């Protein structure tokens, strides 16, 4: 179950807080609706519960706050806003990437795709999905780790009637298995139709916390919606008939040619209009919202529960059970830690209960439990965390879109063109020629590309968050950071080696062999070149992770040679009474045994790389960025 105590958002300047002292409970085995008009604070409440927004208050999921749960995505499945994924990634690739993030078998992606009816669209790009398919994928992401609790922010917004029925029946079947469902909505009729309990928000405060039957009886009123070009005349006739028959009938002007009649039936209104020769364009039963925060009565089109529009008189609503007359199904909560019985996945995207126009409530909870609602089977065995899990996730994230390959191709093309132009001028040393690094540029194309790929590794996480319960705020975990640094290092190494090889090949084809001869000090030069590429990649990863932006990460990569290198040169170029000459020899004398495999040459090459201004500036910048990253990580955990 969910227990929220005193949730209060931080005030914005001189404005009152968007959410003020919100406390409620959502029980296991039930669907709880958080109802409120746009701007009432529903999304803010969810973000405070999930610790994605600073504020006050505590939210416990089965007795523990989210930051005390080791694997929050296995406890809480979240859908906030649009599906958080790169638009160029495929549906199946996105779910397989999340499988690695949450630590579930990769076959789980196919199971949830079958459950939500997206098997035929598994190779489609996220950017091409319709609104309904986007909501289905979001629910699949939330169900991926088989969580005990679902937290959904307006999952039915913008969906068609059929998609609404499928979603509502899926949520109710999930609650019937013993799960906890908390969903926000702005439609009172939807809340009464789907939820077992309705918590109403108005201006950031709770104004009602009711069972669905009590909510329907006190908040919703049946009415007759009428459209006629003679709205004023018909209103007067209805009021006159009500006074004559001594009946309590209320007529409300909705504006234009529409009126709402409370306390009457379609048959009575139709007969009065017919007797007096009034033309009626629409006559239909509706459910009106008359509760707090509703403002003027709603003018939504009639739904399947209200019988639909009709130009002729329809049977009185007394013949049809209303929302308040039908008790909500009650599911027995299961004890914590119990494995729920499996509900087999269905290949039909609209289960039998969803196809019933009367909705899930009309047949009661027993029929719903017996229907084959397409839920993925529970995960009986959950693997323990493994060191390779973040690496597997990062590899799937990088290879799932073509951005990295496009950046690599552009870098190679620019590097080869630059090398050919530099060789034509004839004033560039061979090492800089092979690296395509003119003195006028702060970085060679390969180092710039490695820094861009490193910045994308962290920056894309904040533009398209992926880690289930932490959506909207990528966690600063050392395992994930290590995986990003490792994959970024491998990418930078491949890019640096390919750049040297392609530049040497194109120079050989254009100018001959004399420009591609191997220099005598190739080893320290190679170490410096690879260290420069890896250093730029790491700088991009750390800077983008600190500033939460790819652009900021790339700006820091460029700022190192433009700002840090001149400052470092100025610091080391002053008069000095001591020199570090002979440091490799003295380090060698510290060890009684000889360095294996010529290790002194490796050490000398590494020291020579750090002695260069760019290498020293990169090392200094990486140290500062790593300290800032760890500081922000500890600060977020302290919150």
Q: Which residue in the block uniquely carries the two structure tokens 């491998």?
A: 490
- The H-assigned helical ranges of 6-41 are none
At residue 519, does pLDDT exceed 90? no
Provide the percentage of residues in the chain whose pLDDT is more than 90: 38
Query: Would the CA dihedral through 224, 230, 232, 233 be positive or negative?
Result: negative
> Which structure tokens are listed for 59?
């939210």
At residue 330, does pLDDT exceed 50? no
**Measured between alpha carbons, how far is residue 606 from residues 47, 193, 220 in Å?**
47, 69, 75
What pLDDT is recorded for position 336?
Answer: 36
Helix (H), strand (E), coil (C) string for 77-139? EEECCCCCCCCCCEHHHHHHHHHHHHCCCCHHHHHHHHHCCCHHHCCCEHHHCCHHHHHHHHH
What pLDDT is recorded for position 554?
Answer: 92
Give the chain's mean pLDDT: 78
Which of the given ranges, 306-320, 526-540, 573-587, has the highest pLDDT on average? Answer: 526-540
Q: Tell me the average pLDDT across 326-340.
A: 37
pLDDT digits (tens, 9 = 90+) for 558-582: 998 888 878 877 776 666 555 555 6
pLDDT digits (tens, 9 = 90+) for 238-293: 999 888 888 888 888 887 889 988 888 899 999 999 999 999 999 988 776 654 44
Under 8 Å between Cβ of 463 and 72:
no
Q: Tell me the average pLDDT across 437-443.
A: 88
Do β-strands 180-185 and 76-79 pair in parallel, antiparallel, or remain unpaired? Answer: unpaired
Q: Tell me the average pLDDT across 176-191.
A: 92
- Crossing angle of helices 599-611/613-638, nearest 10°? 80
pLDDT digits (tens, 9 = 90+) for 17-34: 899 999 999 999 999 999
Percent helix, percent strand, percent coil in the chain, to nearest 5: 50, 15, 35
- Would you place residue 357 in the very low, low, confident or very high pLDDT band (cuts 50, 70, 90)? very low
What pLDDT is recorded for position 51?
Answer: 84
Q: Give the Cα-Cα-Cα angle 146, 147, 149 (nearest 5 degrees).
A: 145
At residue 352, does pLDDT exceed 50? no
At residue 198, does pLDDT exceed 70? yes
C-alpha 191/C-alpha 197 separation (Å) is 8
At residue 359, does pLDDT exceed 50? no
| Nearest partner of 220 among 350, 322, 369, 118, judged by Cα | 322
Under 8 Å between Cβ of 329 and 368:
yes
**Measured between alpha carbons, how far is residue 250 from residues 216, 242, 313, 591 in Å?**
19, 9, 19, 98
239 vs 469, more confident: 239
Domains located in the chain, CATH noted:
2-203 (3.40.50.300), 220-319 (3.30.70), 388-638 (no CATH)
C-alpha 182/C-alpha 152 separation (Å) is 6
What pLDDT is recorded for position 315?
Answer: 34
Which of the given ranges, 359-363, 378-382, 496-500, has the highest pLDDT on average? Answer: 496-500
Q: Tell me the average pLDDT across 318-346.
A: 35
C-alpha 523/C-alpha 405 separation (Å) is 28
At residue 588, does pLDDT exceed 90? no
């Amino acid at each position: 179950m969910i227990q929220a105590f005193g949730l209060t958002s931080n005030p914005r300047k001189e404005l009152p807080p968007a959410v003020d002292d919100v406390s409620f409970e959502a029980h296991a085995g039930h669907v709880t609706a958080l109802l409120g008009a746009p701007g009432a604070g529903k999304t803010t409440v969810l973000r405070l519960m999930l610790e994605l927004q600073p504020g006050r208050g505590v939210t416990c999921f089965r007795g523990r706050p989210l930051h005390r749960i080791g694997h929050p995505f296995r406890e809480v499945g979240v859908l906030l806003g649009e599906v958080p994924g790169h638009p160029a990634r495929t549906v199946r690739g996105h779910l397989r990437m999340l499988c690695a993030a949450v630590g579930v078998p990769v076959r789980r992606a196919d199971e949830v795709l079958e459950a939500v009816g997206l098997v035929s669209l598994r190779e489609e790009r996220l950017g091409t999905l319709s609104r309904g398919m986007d909501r289905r994928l979001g629910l699949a992401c939330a169900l991926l780790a088989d969580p005990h609790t679902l937290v959904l922010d307006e999952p039915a917004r913008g969906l068609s009637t059929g998609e609404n029925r499928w979603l509502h029946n899926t949520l109710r079947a999930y609650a019937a298995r013993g799960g906890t469902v908390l969903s926000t909505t702005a439609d009172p009729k939807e809340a009464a139709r789907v939820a077992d309990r309705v918590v109403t928000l108005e201006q950031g405060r709770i104004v009602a916390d009711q069972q669905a039957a009590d909510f329907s009886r006190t908040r919703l009123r049946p009415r007759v919606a009428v459209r006629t070009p003679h709205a004023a005349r018909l209103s007067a006739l209805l009021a006159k008939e009500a006074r004559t028959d001594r009946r309590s009938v209320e007529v409300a002007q909705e504006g234009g040619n529409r009126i709402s009649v409370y306390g009457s039936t379609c048959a009575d209104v139709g007969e009065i209009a017919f007797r007096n020769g009034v033309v009626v364009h629409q006559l239909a039963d509706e459910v009106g919202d008359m509760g707090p925060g509703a403002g003027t009565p709603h003018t939504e089109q009639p739904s399947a529960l209200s019988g639909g529009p009709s130009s002729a008189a329809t049977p009185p609503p007394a013949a049809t059970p209303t929302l308040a007359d039908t008790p909500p199904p009650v599911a027995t909560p299961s004890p914590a830690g119990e494995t729920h019985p499996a509900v087999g996945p269905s290949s039909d995207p609209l289960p039998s209960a969803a196809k019933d126009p009367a909705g899930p409530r009309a047949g009661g909870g027993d029929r719903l439990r017996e229907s084959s609602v397409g839920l993925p089977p529970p995960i009986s065995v959950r693997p323990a965390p493994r060191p390779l899990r973040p690496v597997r996730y990062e590899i799937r994230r990088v290879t799932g879109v073509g951005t990295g390959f496009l950046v690599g191709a552009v870098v190679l093309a620019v590097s080869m063109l630059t090398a050919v132009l530099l060789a034509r001028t004839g004033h560039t040393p061979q090492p800089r020629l092979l690296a395509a690094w003119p003195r006028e540029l702060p970085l060679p194309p390969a180092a710039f590309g490695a820094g861009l790929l490193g910045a994308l590794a962290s920056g894309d996480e904040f533009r398209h968050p992926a880690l289930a319960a932490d959506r909207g705020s990528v966690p600063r975990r050392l395992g994930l950071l290590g995986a990003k640094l490792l994959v970024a290092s491998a990418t930078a190494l491949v890019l640096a080696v390919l750049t040297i090889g392609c530049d040497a090949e194109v120079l050989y084809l254009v100018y001959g062999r004399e420009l591609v001869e191997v220099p005598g000090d190739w080893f320290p030069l190679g170490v410096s070149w690879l260290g420069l590429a890896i250093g730029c990649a790491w700088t991009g990863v750390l800077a983008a992770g600190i500033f939460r932006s790819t652009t900021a990460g790339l700006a820091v990569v460029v700022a190192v040679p433009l700002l840090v290198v001149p400052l470092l040169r100025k610091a080391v170029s002053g008069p000095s009474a001591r020199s570090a000459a002979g440091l490799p020899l003295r380090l060698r004398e510290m060890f009684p045994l000889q360095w294996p495999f010529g290790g002194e040459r490796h050490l000398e090459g590494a020291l020579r790389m750090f002695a260069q201004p760019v290498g020293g500036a990169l090392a200094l910048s990486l140290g500062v960025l790593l300290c800032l990253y760890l500081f922000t990580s500890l600060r977020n955990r302290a919150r």
